Structure 1
Amino acid sequence: MEELRDTLETTAKRLGLLNKNCCSIGPFNIGSSQSIILSEIAKRNNPSMQEIADTLATDITTFSRQIQTLIKMGFVQKNQSSQDRRVYTLSLTTEGKFAIGTIHSQMEQYLEEVFSHMNEFERETVKRSLQLLNAAMAKSSVCCKPLF
């Protein structure tokens, strides 16, 4: 298991998941967690703050700080729900849609370059292995929880 852990840690580093900033959009440096938040908001139609926080397995306080930063950058809009005034929904602004489009494009270019060093069988093996790993993690009772 130590070899697997080392491999996963190296993969996280090479994907830039531990970097303070994953990319720049105009004058803003976007962190990996902010990039993931933007992506999750983009996947849904006006999700609640709690829905995205739960999806990312993060506490609402930490998540709220990230959202406030994204609002100040002009990428996210937060609105009070008309059905339940305790609930706030999130949406991407025009700038936020541009930002996530740019981030996705950069990631696709990166992955295309990385996968260009593999043949078709190797690419499919990696893809299938990652799908299997993600499916097993989704079933795990300890996935996405603090280890300590």
Structure 2
Amino acid sequence: MLPELQNTRELLQIMVRRFGLLDKNCCTVGEQEISLIQSHILYEIDHQYEPSMQQVAETLAMDITTFSRQIQTLIKKNLVRKTPLPEDRRVYILSLTVEGKFVTTAIDYRMNTHLDEVFSFMTDAEKQTVIQSVKLLNESMLKSKMCCTPLG
């Protein structure tokens, strides 16, 4: 492996650790302990229009069995509602409960506050450079054949 690629991997590893992406629980809102994957699921349900279970699972690149277990946990926590689609009762639509919307809004607020604080140490030009670079990295990852697949 080229030294600059190893260094790039190290930079990304450090960023993941500093964002707390390896923590078991990403946050606590009120009495609710929310894992990182649950946070991602809540975010997607909130940002997609009446998503089906399959749509959210695909967006997060999760197998449906693992995803279903997470949904059951979120239903037990009274954060998510699962409703059969009237036209096809095999398809379930996901939505947030009132408490789920509250938790999602609280997580969004914390993340935005955290990012605002991180960006406060940068000039506007530096901030725009970082945002453009992340967009470019995301676009390139989408084109990669290895994106969202386990390393074998």
TM over 0.5: yes
Aligned AA (1:71): I
Instruction: After TM superposition, list the pairs within 5 Å mapping 1:1-148 onto structure 2.
Output: 1-148=5-152
Q: Spell out structure 1 runs of 4+ moving beyond 3 A.
A: none
Q: Deviations over 1:17-42 (max 9, x none)?
A: 11111111111111111101000000
| In 2: Cα distance, 1:6 partner to 1:58 partner | 26
Which has the larger share of strand? Answer: 2
| In 2: Cα distance, 1:110 partner to 1:129 partner | 19
The 8 Å contact of residues 34 and 70 in structure 1, kept in 2 or not, is answered as yes
1:139: how far off? 1.2
The 8 Å contact of residues 79 and 90 in structure 1, kept in 2 or not, is answered as yes
1:44: how far off? 1.4
Bigger Cα displacement from structure 2, 126-135 vs 13-22: 13-22
Counting aligned pairs with the same residue, the percent is 52
| In 2: Cα distance, 1:9 partner to 1:77 partner | 35
| In 1: Cα distance, 2:42 partner to 2:97 partner | 10
The 8 Å contact of residues 16 and 32 in structure 1, kept in 2 or not, is answered as no
Gaps of 5+ in 1: none
Secondary structure, aligned partner of 2:25 = coil
Q: Deviations over 1:96-141 (max 9, x none)?
A: 1111100000001101111111111111110000000001111111
Aligned AA (1:9): Q
| In 1: Cα distance, 2:118 partner to 2:27 partner | 18
The 8 Å contact of residues 74 and 95 in structure 1, kept in 2 or not, is answered as yes
Gaps of 5+ in 2: none
Q: Structure 1-normalised TM-score? A: 0.97
